[in-house]
Structure 1
Amino acid sequence: MTKEEVEKLENRLDEFYEKFNKNVIEEEFKSRHQFTKPNINTTLLNSTANKLFRNYSYYNKNSNFANNEMCCRYLNYWLNEQKIRCISTSDNVDSNYFYDKIQYVCSDIYEYYGNTGKKCDINIKKYSEYVWKIRRKIDDLCYIKEQLGGSAKISKNRKICSSFNKYLCKTLKYIFNEITSTNRETLEPNDFKIEGACSENNLGDILTEVECANDSESDNVPKECKPQQEASLTADHEAHTIYKECEKIDCDENECTCRSFHIVLTMFLTVLGSFLLCVFLYTFTPFGSLLNKLKMRKSKIRHEVDEEQTQVLSEHTSDYDYKNPLNMQYLMPYNSLRE
């Protein structure tokens, strides 16, 4: 296994996912669903419906590639992507209309395939908008780490370990950028909880850099720059990491782990943990209702103060004109000379 194995696995995942987007050529699936409605462009919706029907069969035939649970999640990721595309590009297709038609297709799928293979629960409302991108990246990371044999096996091969850590760094940067650019009001506490190897209790291990072993004797290469990391991840995913300084030793760029990785990892876990904690407190505790009441009370008080100031100013202006009759002597009548 070479250090290019990580890239091969990454490409393999992309190819697997892209098969969901291939045009439907099977006659039995090609025109199975044709929805029509006045003043609505249903071209993309119909294409999505027929691809979904075909892709369900494809999901069941790829158990040798990955477990059924993971393939089912990828099918849901793809469907969420199609939903966003359809609503943003099609005329008069809203989320409710899309959801109703997909529910109809799902009923047809379960009736057609019956007990063939393992059932995949298709749920278009399972994730918040755009969260499927982050979930898929975490799933990709879990799959690659699992295929490489897990942390213990990865750490024994320095080249693979270095390559995996770079892929992990790239993934964390992508996730961090997505979180900062996403409308946080659409996120839910369970959006990042993935079943199986990527469960909530295992997320800390998945997003932690693998400590590479010293293979200088077997590989005949210089000793690498080796950061020591001690990390703990709390229930709300907030990380507290302590890093020791890297010993400055000449090493190949591909074999040296950059400190920027540690910075990105710490920033990502801290932001994610803090945000999820805030969402949880706002949604599931009295803190949210208390905050809303305080906002309403503040708005009401401000409105009353503004009304009182306006009334006082009006009375003051009126009294001033009344108490200063000298102003009246400058009000001279106007008589036209044409009369």
Structure 2
Amino acid sequence: MQKKLSDLPSFSRYAFFNTFAASDPYGEYCESIKYVFKIYPGIEEICRGLAEHMSYIYRDDNTDDNNEKVKDCRYLFYWMHEQVIKIKKDNKNTLYHWYIHHLIEAWKYMKRKLDKSNSNICKLEYYDTNNENIKKRKMLYDYCENYNDLQTNIFRGNYCDSYYYYLKKIDNLHNNFKEVWSVNNGKIPEYIKDCEQNKPSDLLQAPSCKNVELLGKNVKVNESYIYDWDEGLEYLFHFPPSSDDSYGVVYTVIPILGIFFFFLFLYKFTPVGSILRSLLLRKKIKQGAIDNNEIEILSSESDIHTSKYLYNSNMNIGYTS
């Protein structure tokens, strides 16, 4: 059976969180931020989703041990981040910082209401509302939680084709592991520090990954198959542009044309161009491939510009011994 990225532990957990009902009973846990519902579209639904899943974590009949509950809370925080990113994709003017700020306020309110034993479960471990920082930590945290499954499937099951490009993208980020995850006074948290040694580059050395690498050199890989993960995760990676990105091509070409015309103008209409033409001309003279009259005309024009600018009093040229 073909393995999928969406089957890995972190991604399947986010898929479970996406099944929330956002029903009325959980609205009471969002009272603390009710005043911003109309200001920030979609924040009420995200808040109700948080409340529903956090309520489940704290339920008396939840038999998971505390470590699993803490892990679920981390996933839940990153799920919250992902929901805001989805809103931002639909509306470029979305103020990510303020969405996360208000949702964190709601999170703390929910914990006070639900946590009867005042435990460390769902306690925010650090505060950060920076989109890029959270995104990078999420990517590495997901990878670390997925590592055991990745290792087993790649080395024992020869399933690297499902993970190859994911690992290639994560590898670049993993090289900056310490920088990304030094959140506690410059220290990496205990629960993730060992993952610094679990390098994607080591997994990519597996024979099944080497086969994918060889395939990629000779055959165009079906990207829709390789990138087979849940919708909404693609923002974590830089995919090849779709047809909707045609404007990006235009924006890339325009600067190149600008540079071309700048150098053309420089060559045709400035003293620098005259000097360059003179140098090219002299090269042709050596080859005996230019008419004497043309030499005299062009050389004299070049000499005028050259003498004018070489002896300009604004030029300060010095020598050092």
TM-score (norm 1): 0.44
Q: Which has the higher contact order (CA 8 A, sep 6+)?
A: 2
TM-score (norm 2): 0.46
